[in-house]
């Protein structure tokens, strides 16, 4: 697409800079993790990790005291997660799966369950669908076909197997049933029915039932009506949050228009989708932006007006959702940064198609880009009563290390658990590239929280 001109993007006007600087940032974190005992094992762990990071950054080897602080904090973190009454149900379920073979077998079967159910229902439809049954005379055969179809729909797999065997005997006794003679062996001899029947049998196992109770504490099970309703409510909540954030951004665009004295120089687009024409991989990158503040670019040679990106806004319903989104956002900025400076790119959004200058997009990942002036995470969630010292992903990686799971298993089985057995986790933190995100977790958390603004604070800053 022809370029509208490769002029550099003008700097933020004073009013936009003022709004970004004066909007209260109630989610900001302190410069260092809390050190008080009242802050709990997560704070102690974050403090130990941060000491390791600073030591390594200063070319110092972490000392014995830091090492001991780390493994003791990890042991406390595991003990906290394993508390029966108020521990981490998801973690306890993972530990139970590790130590109970029947639970692991059940989970392996569940990995195939959805595909197996589809296969059996398709097989039952092939021989017992109402359209297939209408040519069968009333009697025992037709009744058995009706039962088979109903049992597939209601997921009664043991009963379905019995009915299929009965039908097979009927088909063998009658030469004019080729469809049954072909279809029933597929139902009975394939692995799908055996797997589903075994999974049903394991539902009565005490360890599996204990696992299910832990799983139910985490929320509705996938595929249930409760899970669907929960998903609908979450979607509505997210849409409402996005609408509030967009309204605040549109009010800002109106004030910027007034300050420039040019009507329509600023606009907001929503649900802006990144086109495949940008020459970079979009794998695991944010490819749709909730709301974007645009400024009309200087006149160029193109027939349509082109725009510069001035602010990207993502609306989130919770603080945790922001932290979970940040890596995708960073990859999304890198994707936009690969735009050719001399090209205009057509982006689709709810408001239609909009042309964005590649020169503007390229600056989103350039060396002069200040993230706090480029991205806002907007939410109406209350600030946590205590700071979040340890990122959820880092906590998960620490607790999920093989040595941590072994330590937790010993606790669950009432055996002696030695904190020194956690030493390999310490060694991995010092040496393994896979643990670099954990090592950098607190600076990353601080950076994420600095990008967050409550929608009310943004509105107040826009209103001046």
Same domain for 356 and 245, yes or no, is yes
Nearest to 164 by CA among 148, 149, 176, 182: 148
Phi-psi region for residue 379, left (φ > 0), alpha (ψ -120 to 50) or beta?
Answer: beta
Same domain for 259 and 213, yes or no, is no
* Three-state DSSP class for residue 79: helix
Kindly report, residue by residue over 228-241, the tens digit of the pLDDT. Answer: 777 778 788 888 89
Query: What total number of domains does the chain contain?
Result: 3
Q: Does residue 6 belong to any structural domain of this protein? A: no
Same domain for 177 and 117, yes or no, is yes
Domain end marker among 349, 379, 409? 379
Q: Does residue 2 belong to any structural domain of this protein? A: no
- Asked whether 71 and 425 are in contact (CB, 8 A), the reply is yes
Token pair for 440: 């950098």
Same domain for 300 and 275, yes or no, is yes
Same domain for 243 and 370, yes or no, is yes
pLDDT confidence band for 32 (50 / 70 / 90): confident
Instruction: Write down the pTM of the prediction.
Output: 0.83
Domain end marker among 318, 346, 379? 379
Q: Does residue 311 belong to any structural domain of this protein? A: yes
Domain end marker among 348, 379, 410? 379
CA distance linking residue 165 with residue 188, whole number of Å: 8
Same domain for 174 and 269, yes or no, is no
Kindly report, residue by residue over 42-58, the tens digit of the pLDDT. Answer: 999 999 999 999 999 99
CA distance linking residue 120 with residue 151, whole number of Å: 10
Same domain for 64 and 103, yes or no, is no
Domain limits at 336? 236-379
Q: Could you give the C-alpha distances from 422 to 79, 127, 137, 336, 434, in angstroms and in order?
A: 13, 57, 70, 42, 17
Q: Does residue 5 belong to any structural domain of this protein? A: no
Same domain for 125 and 214, yes or no, is yes
Average pLDDT over residues 286-304: 85
Same domain for 245 and 362, yes or no, is yes
pLDDT confidence band for 194 (50 / 70 / 90): very high
């Amino acid at each position: 697409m022809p370029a509208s001109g490769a002029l550099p993007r003008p700097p933020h006007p004073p009013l936009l800079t003022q709004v970004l600087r004066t909007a209260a940032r109630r989610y900001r974190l302190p410069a260092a993790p809390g050190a008080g005992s009242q802050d709990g094992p997560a704070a102690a762990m974050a403090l130990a990790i941060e000491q390791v990071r600073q030591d390594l950054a200063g070319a110092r080897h972490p000392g014995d005291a830091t090492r001991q602080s780390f493994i003791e904090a990890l042991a406390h973190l595991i003990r906290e997660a394993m508390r029966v009454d108020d521990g981490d149900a998801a973690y306890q379920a993972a530990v139970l799966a590790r130590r109970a073979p029947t639970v692991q077998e059940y989970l392996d079967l569940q990995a195939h369950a959805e595909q197996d159910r589809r296969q059996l229902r398709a097989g039952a439809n092939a021989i017992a669908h109402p359209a297939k049954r209408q040519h069968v005379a009333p009697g025992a055969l037709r009744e058995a076909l009706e039962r088979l179809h109903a049992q597939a729909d209601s997921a009664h797999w043991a009963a379905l197997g019995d009915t299929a065997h009965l039908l097979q005997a009927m088909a063998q006794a009658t030469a004019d049933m080729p469809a049954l003679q072909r279809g029933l062996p597929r139902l009975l001899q394939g692995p799908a029915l055996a797997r589903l029947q075994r999974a049903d049998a394991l539902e009565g196992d005490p360890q599996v039932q204990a696992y299910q109770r832990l799983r139910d504490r985490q929320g509705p099970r996938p595929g249930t009506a409760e899970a669907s309703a929960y998903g609908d409510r979450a979607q509505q909540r997210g849409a409402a949050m996005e609408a509030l954030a967009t309204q605040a951004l549109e009010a800002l665009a109106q004030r910027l228009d007034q300050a420039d004295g040019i009507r329509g120089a600023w606009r907001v687009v929503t649900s802006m989708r990144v086109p495949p024409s940008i020459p970079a991989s979009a794998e695991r990158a944010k490819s749709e932006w909730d709301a974007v503040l645009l400024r009309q670019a200087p006149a160029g040679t193109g027939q349509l007006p082109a725009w510069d990106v001035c602010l990207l806004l993502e609306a989130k319903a919770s603080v945790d959702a922001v932290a979970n989104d940040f890596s995708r956002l960073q990859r999304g900025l890198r994707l936009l940064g690969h735009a050719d400076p001399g090209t205009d790119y057509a982006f689709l959004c709810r408001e239609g198609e909009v042309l964005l200058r590649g020169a503007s997009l390229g600056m989103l990942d350039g060396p002069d880009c200040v993230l706090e002036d480029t991205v806002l995470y907007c939410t109406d969630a209350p600030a946590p009563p205590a700071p979040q010292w340890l990122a959820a992903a880092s906590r998960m990686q620490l607790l999920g290390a093989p040595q941590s799971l072994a330590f937790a298993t010993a606790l669950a089985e009432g055996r002696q658990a030695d904190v020194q057995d956690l030493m390999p986790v310490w060694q991995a933190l010092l040496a393994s590239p896979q643990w670099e995100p954990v090592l950098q977790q607190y600076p990353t958390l601080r950076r994420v929280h600095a990008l967050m603004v409550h929608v009310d604070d943004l509105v107040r800053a826009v209103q001046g």
